């Protein structure tokens, strides 16, 4: 019976790497597989990403499509409704703010546009949550559990 210490690759599936530039008898001596002359034969050569030998690169031959709305994009920190239960020792009417969630380690860092509450998970207690945005599902679940959703003035 063979054990795990007897495992080895199939014969012929692995081969030793080619050691280049190790003398004429090795088959890859002298020019070490680089051929004669030219930019690629020189030391220190490295091609730029996407370079096609002077031919117009593929990423420049294709037409530009669409647009980006990066200037006006909103950046929110997100939290699911189910994650609110991870906060310990809260009274019913205490507002849960984004700063409390960051301090508790539930939200890693606060993005510039604030906190967005998503509707994944279940809520068993009535939380008073203060956030910049609530999804419809999250708002329904928080209100159904006896809590309230507050959006602060900008």
Q: What is the CATH number of the domain that holds 99?
A: 3.100.10.10
- Residue found under tokens 């699911």: 80
For residue 19, tell me if it sits in a domain. Answer: no
- The number of domains in the chain is 1
For residue 45, tell me if it sits in a domain. Answer: no
pLDDT at 153: 86
pLDDT at 58: 96
pLDDT at 1: 75
Q: Which domain holds residue 125?
A: 77-150
The span from the first CA to the last CA of the chain, in angstroms, equals 72
User: How far apart, in whole angstroms, are the C-alpha atoms of residue 116 and residue 94?
Assistant: 19
For residue 82, tell me if it sits in a domain. Answer: yes
pLDDT tens per residue, range 41-82: 999 999 999 999 899 999 999 999 999 999 999 999 999 999
CA geometry: angle at 84 spanning 114 and 76, to 5°?
Answer: 20
Average pLDDT of the segment spanning 135-143: 94
For residue 27, tell me if it sits in a domain. Answer: no
pLDDT at 84: 86
């Amino acid at each position: 019976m063979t054990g795990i210490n007897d495992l080895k690759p199939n014969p012929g599936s692995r081969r030793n790497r080619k050691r280049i530039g190790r003398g004429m008898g090795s088959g890859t001596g002298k020019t070490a597989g680089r051929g004669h002359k030219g930019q690629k034969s020189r030391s220190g050569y490295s091609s730029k990403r996407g370079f096609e030998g002077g031919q117009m690169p593929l990423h420049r031959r294709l037409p530009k499509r669409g647009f980006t709305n990066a200037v006006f994009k909103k950046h929110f920190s997100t939290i699911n409704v189910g994650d609110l239960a991870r906060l310990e020792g809260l009274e019913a009417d205490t507002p849960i703010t984004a700063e409390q969630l960051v301090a508790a380690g539930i939200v890693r860092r606060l993005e510039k546009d604030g906190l967005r509450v998503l509707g994944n998970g279940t809520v068993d207690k009535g939380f008073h949550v203060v956030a910049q945005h609530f999804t419809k599902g999250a708002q329904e679940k928080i209100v159904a559990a006896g809590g309230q959703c507050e959006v602060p003035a900008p």
